[in-house]
Chains A and B, each alone.
Chain A
Amino acid sequence: QQQVKQSPQSLIVQKGGIPIINCAYENTAFDYFPWYQQFPGKGPALLIAIRPDVSEKKEGRFTISFNKSAKQFSLHIMDSQPGDSATYFCAATYNNNDMRFGAGTRLTVKP
């Protein structure tokens, strides 16, 4: 049973759109919430991460929104580009050794 539930499974947006990917978790001991980006045939790479003591974090066009009371967090991609087309995974951990990943969202940004 997955401890981190991610939605949607796939997402298609037009260039310039703002795709939003949502994740929910159960374990309140989690204290680190990263997002990984994976291109076909490659390993995942860290995109952005947040700790539960802040509600939002921005890095360039990528923003994480975090709602501790609802046990939810989401990734927003501003001004999306075709080069952002990839699979995105949310994750959560409390000791950084037992990382629990969501099932992934395949994002397609159409030109």
Chain B
Amino acid sequence: NAGVTQTPKFRVLKTGQSMTLLCAQDMNHEYMYWYRQDPGMGLRLIHYSVGEGTTAKGEVPDGYNVSRLKKQNFLLGLESAAPSQTSVYFCASRYRGRYEQFFGPGTRLTVL
């Protein structure tokens, strides 16, 4: 099993450009999450999904959109990237009824 995978691993954008980050999991997990990690801030939840077709806002949702069309995939979109969105983005997933979240390897995004 690959676990949680993220695509791409690295990306550089210019201000105003858009992009989509893909998270995929092969563990049949119901719940999926997107976090951003910034120095001195720990991880902060952007959006999450409790099942296919459902999404909810986390702690820092502004400037991001998400979609969960398939159970195994969770997409994070930036419609108009800003330098403040320079960060490392992590996806995570877990089983319903279990607390452990499994994290992907991260995507390092730089917005110039």
Contact = CB atoms under 8 A, between A and B. Distances in A.
Interface of A: 2, 4, 6, 9, 32, 34, 41-46, 49, 89, 91, 96-104
Contacts, number: 54
Contacts of A9: 40
Interface stretch (B14-22, B73-81, B100-108): B100-108
Nearest to B6: A43
Contact of A43 (B31, B56, B103): B103
Given A34-B100, A46-B100, A89-B43, 15 more contacts: A2-B41, A4-B42, A9-B40, A34-B99, A43-B90, A44-B103, A91-B43, A96-B94, A97-B33, A99-B43, A99-B45, A101-B43, A101-B44, A102-B42, A103-B42
Given A6-B42, A89-B42, A99-B45, A44 B99 contact: no
A2 B59 contact: no
B105 A98 contact: no
A96 B45 CA distance: 11
B45 A98 contact: yes
B66 interface: no
A96 B99 contact: yes
Contact of A41 (B45, B99, B103, B105): B105
A43 B23 CA distance: 13
A36 B34 CA distance: 16
Interface residues of B, number: 24
Interface string B33-52: 10000001111110010100
Contacts of B24: none
A96 B96 CA distance: 10
